[in-house]
Structure 1
């Protein structure tokens, strides 16, 4: 398996509040998009990934539902630590982060998710979203109250309904799917997905070029479009 990644502050932000984690020996991959005042978002995303990494040994030997429950507990622990820090340390007040995790175990993949960072599967020349945005506009789209095009321009498109650290408790989306040869998984923050549409991803993935070339083209395209937010993408390519 190959792993490609990039994480940049973009063209406007002064610092990068995104973080990502690659633990190939454990089959774990994650992206996090932090939020909060004066570097608090950067703290939130890095703390959440640190807690996730510390939790990994507890997942050894777990399978099926027990493994999903174990990853959910890792999210709960990360939420607890980030929330407590936001309440007890003034410089971290109000901080939080998205967290999207991919865990590859044998012939199975577990996807766990909170926030509006995303996970996609590229299989048989088709792109499938594996996560739902836990955002206000995401909920409005699901309810049929606004269209996808309206969501892209909605004044409250950055409002999250769920985030690690925002509340003392957290609800985690967690699911498992079977792994197939030549599967490609993409994890990304909204600074990337807001600039590159699903249709554009599909078209680029169909191009007769290497994954390295495709990934670099998408990175450059995000920058060319002004990259108003930090943006991170991580690609796991099964071979």
Structure 2
């Protein structure tokens, strides 16, 4: 397996509130997009990933539903830590973070997710979203009340319905899928997915060039389009 990644503050933001985690030996990968006041988003995303990392030894011998349950518990623990900090440290008030996690275990992959950072699977030249945006516009689209184009222009397109640390309790989406040779998994924050459409991802992934070149072209395209937000992408390439 190869892992490629980039994380940048973009063209407008003064600091990068995205964080990502690569633990190749444990098969665990994650991205987090923090939100909050002055640098509080940065605190939230890094704190969530730190809690996730401390939980990793508990996942080592687990399988199937026990693995999903324990990974969900890791999210609950991260939520408690971020929420407590946001409610007790004045400069962290109102902070929270998205968190999208990929755990690769033998012939199985577990995806756990809160927020609007995304996970995709590239298999047999087909791109499949593995997560659902926990955002206001995402919910309106699922209800058929707005179109994709309307969602991109919606004045509340950045409003999250779920985030780690936003509330004392949290609901986590968690699912497992089988792993196949030559699968490619992409984790990304909305600073990337808002700039690059699923169609453009598919077209670039179909290119015969090395994966390093494909990801670099997508990084450059994000910057060329103004990159108004921090953006992060993490790609796990099964070989």
Q: Tell me if TM exceeds 0.5.
A: yes
Match of 2:185 in 1: 185
| Cα distance, 1:38 vs structure 2 | 0.1
2 CA distance for matches of 1:42 and 1:237?
28
Match of 1:219 in 2: 219
Match of 1:170 in 2: 170
| Cα distance, 1:60 vs structure 2 | 1.6
Aligned 1:82-101 pairs, distance under 5 A: 82-101=82-101
2 CA distance for matches of 1:215 and 1:61?
33
2 CA distance for matches of 1:114 and 1:54?
19
1:135 has 2:130 as partner:
no
| Cα distance, 1:112 vs structure 2 | 0.1
Alpha-carbon displacement from aligned partner over 1:141-200 (angstroms, at most 9, x marks no partner): 000000011101100000000000000000000000000000000000000000000000
Q: Which runs of 4+ in 1 moved over 3 A?
A: none
CA RMSD after TM alignment? 0.3
2 CA distance for matches of 1:26 and 1:206?
29
Q: Which secondary structure state, in structure 2, belongs to the residue aligned with residue 120 of structure 1?
A: strand
Match of 2:16 in 1: 16
Aligned length: 239
The TM-score normalised by the length of structure 2 is: 1.00
Q: Which secondary structure state, in structure 2, belongs to the residue aligned with residue 52 of structure 1?
A: helix
2 CA distance for matches of 1:196 and 1:55?
33
1 CA distance for matches of 2:60 and 2:150?
44
| Cα distance, 1:208 vs structure 2 | 1.4
Q: 5+ unaligned residues in a row in structure 2: which ranges? A: none
Match of 1:29 in 2: 29
2 CA distance for matches of 1:214 and 1:131?
22
Aligned 1:62-211 pairs, distance under 5 A: 62-211=62-211
Alpha-carbon displacement from aligned partner over 1:73-108 (angstroms, at most 9, x marks no partner): 000000000000000000100000000000000000
1 CA distance for matches of 2:150 and 2:236?
31
2 CA distance for matches of 1:148 and 1:233?
22
Match of 1:59 in 2: 59
